[in-house]
Structure 1
Amino acid sequence: MRDIRMALLDMNNNQVNQGFKNIREISEAFQKNSEENVSIKTFDVRHKNEMPNIEDFDIFISSGGPGNPHREGLEWEDRFANFLDHIFEYNQHHEDKKYLFLICHSFQLASIHWKLGNINKRKSYSFGVMPVHKTEEGEQEFLFKNLPDPFYAVDSRAFQFIEPDHERFEELGMKIVAIEKFRPHINLERAVMAVRFSEEIFGTQFHPEANPEGMIENLKDEKNKEAMIENFGMEKYLETVDRMNDEDKIILTQAQILPRFLDLAKKNILKQAEAMV
């Protein structure tokens, strides 16, 4: 039986982070529920400049993290850019594919690297549980199959991806599958919230790994609480906290997107291994 090898890329730059804990928990649940032997290794990309060798792993999850996604001349940035290209190109020339999920900061880094649009600083920090809308392509997206439209996800970002370059998307065969809520009364571009970069590479601006406990933990941080009240007002803030445990909100999103990604990746890896025997 073929082993499944996972690499988790920690992009938190040595800051304590709820999201990475959730990614690890989802990965360990996948490991526990698999008949196959699943190994999980963590790489501290920004703080320790650690990077997985792509030949050694099958599935990669790259986390969110703090700070500016634009280049600041650090060594890890080059290594991460090479890692993105390496996986993208590897999959074009090999039968056995590599699967990559990019979250928030990692999603922004990839979108900048592949020159997909304008990734700029938001007027104010965004934090909260947001409705995310599927695009036409998103209606067909396997990872969103069991989610309503809109579905709800945890948003936590100082930067945003707006003004996508549609020609560039077409050239690279990439698709926008989710965008933020349409607000006709506000004259602002709607941010891109999820991209299907390739058959094997997927990314979200939001946090599909988030759960209510982590969210409530995050709200103990005054910055997050203030951002949420500033964005939504006190009434909405209290309503969000109240609805945190709703089965059809972030609990549903957490149960669907990453677990479906992992299950599909595993299925394809095993099918490919069989075909190569």
Structure 2
Amino acid sequence: MTESDVVRVDMHVKVLDERVVRRAKERGLDALVYAPHFTRLPAIEATAERYSDEELAVIPAREVFTGDWRNRQHVLALGLDEPVPDFITLEGAMAEFRRQDAAVLVPHPGFLNVSLGESSIRQYRDTIDAVETYNPKLTRRGNRRARTVAVRQNLSPFASSYAHLPTTVGEAWTALNGDAVGDDVTAASIVAALKAGADRRIDHRSGLTHRRSRIAEQAHLVWENTWGKIDRVFLSGTEPTHPRHIAYDGAFDDIAAY
């Protein structure tokens, strides 16, 4: 694939504003997958639509936290038609993704206690469409391990900046075959290409700037996971994406982890 034949997608970002859009365009991206933490799908969709234009498609997605806080396995779903909460069983989440015919991606596999391990990936490999093989937050060893898992399980790779900071957007991307996506880059065309296993290339920036971005994201990860923030955000039952929140009207009570 040549550069003119690909659609460049940063497959997972947590931030979205005018600065993020400007940076994405400067770095030659055609699309961003926007999946902020603990935000319900309708809000994500509204924000994605607000920042999409003819130059950059913003794809709404959900990184669902399955399981409980001590063993939360993250799964990234694109193409959802209905909201799916966090803190439900992995089995229940996968069943819901299949029902909605979503594209199912595994972000940062094997990372700490927030990821699917290879045994879970093997168990659900018929539902999973791709495994992340490059993430700036991971060490070189972690990214090598992720590539090995994807190869062993015969699953397509993807890369993302996993940007929690605006400056990280576009540090890594997935270059999808343009013919598989089509002329109109939309959520539907990206989801279809991922589910079809479209040809792709995994790319990322390099050099000192990239290294600084990786260090900044790793430092942000430490801050994000302090116990003080956990106490403020998690497990009260009132979070917007808690399965027992009134917004879900009890639909997920039978598979809720809390």
Measured against the shorter chain, the TM-score band is under 0.3
TM, length-normalised to structure 1: 0.26
Which structure's residues are more often strand, by fraction? 1
Q: Which has the larger radius of gyration?
A: 1
TM, length-normalised to structure 2: 0.28
